[in-house]
Amino acid sequence: MALSEQMERQGAWLFKYRGILPLVIFVIAIVLFYKNETDPENRILKSESEQSIYELVCLLVSFLGFFIRIYTVGYSRPNTSGRNTEEQVADELNTTGIYSIMRNPLYVGNFFMWLGIAMLTSNFWFIISFILFYFLYYERIIFTEEQFLKNKFGDTFINWARKTPIIVPNYSSFKKTGYNFNWKKVLRQEKNGFAALLIIFCLFDLGAELLKVERHYNIPLYIAGVASIIIYFILKFIKYNTKLLQDPQ
């Protein structure tokens, strides 16, 4: 089997099961995080104030990724930039907006979302390993996706890919999109990520505090986490019981 065919088959398999990667990261991160919390000597940051600032930085890194996803999905064309896992879907080729400065903004967004969580471990080698593994993992997926797009859109894709970087943005090539921001699509697709992100940070923070003698619970974070769960179920109800989040035909 040719190497290109092997890479495409591997990419198709990884694309289908790409939701497994966050679970693996989450499990390893939890183990390392609680190992640090139970043994103060493992902590890079010793004081509570330093730790609180660092956790806020981690949260901001994750939300940077989330906002990249929101911007990408909100300005993407209909039936593109979805969460499909069974097969590749693209009715049109996105070449404007954020897609004019990089070819894979959703994966860049995902990277920062999970980098923030990896950073919570305060384990330098785990963070470096996560970065390397993430790009090796998604290299195959990107290869497979681009084979699909090249076969479907031909020269249009080739010409766009030649001038648009894979992940490192080239801001000078930005081309404004003709689409209005689609909040309905964002609310349909990104409610899961918003809730999951805040819940994960709440679990890390709550677990760490329970291991301490003197506890300082992050009440604003817990309120945000509970609110995200409520918002998730409200949007889920609206999605399946009304037409409020449906795009006009």
Establish if 171 belongs to a structural domain.
yes
Q: Taking the CA of residue 140 as centre, how many other CA atoms within 13 Å lie in the half-sphere pointing to its CB?
A: 19
Domain limits for position 220: 3-241
pLDDT of residue 111: 93
Closest by CA to 83, choosing from 94, 91, 73, is 73
- For 20-55, what is each residue's pLDDT tens digit? 767 777 788 888 877 776 766 666 666 667 777 888
Domain-embedded: residue 222: yes
Residue 247 domain flag: no
Contact indicator for 70, 115 with CB cutoff of 8 Å = no
User: Does 204 map to a domain?
Assistant: yes
φ/ψ region of 155 (left if φ > 0, alpha if ψ in -120 to 50, else beta) reads alpha
In a domain, 54, yes or no: yes
Q: Is residue 248 part of a domain?
A: no
Does any domain span residue 249? no
Query: How does the average pLDDT of the chain come out, rounded?
Result: 82
- The whole model's pTM is what? 0.85
CA–CA separation, 130 and 118 (whole Å)? 7
Which of 78, 143, 69, 76 lies closest to 106 in space, CA to CA?
69
Mean pLDDT of 196-213: 85
What is the number of domains present in the chain? Answer: 1
In a domain, 182, yes or no: yes
Q: What is the pLDDT of residues 78-96, one digit of tens each?
A: 666 555 545 555 667 888 8
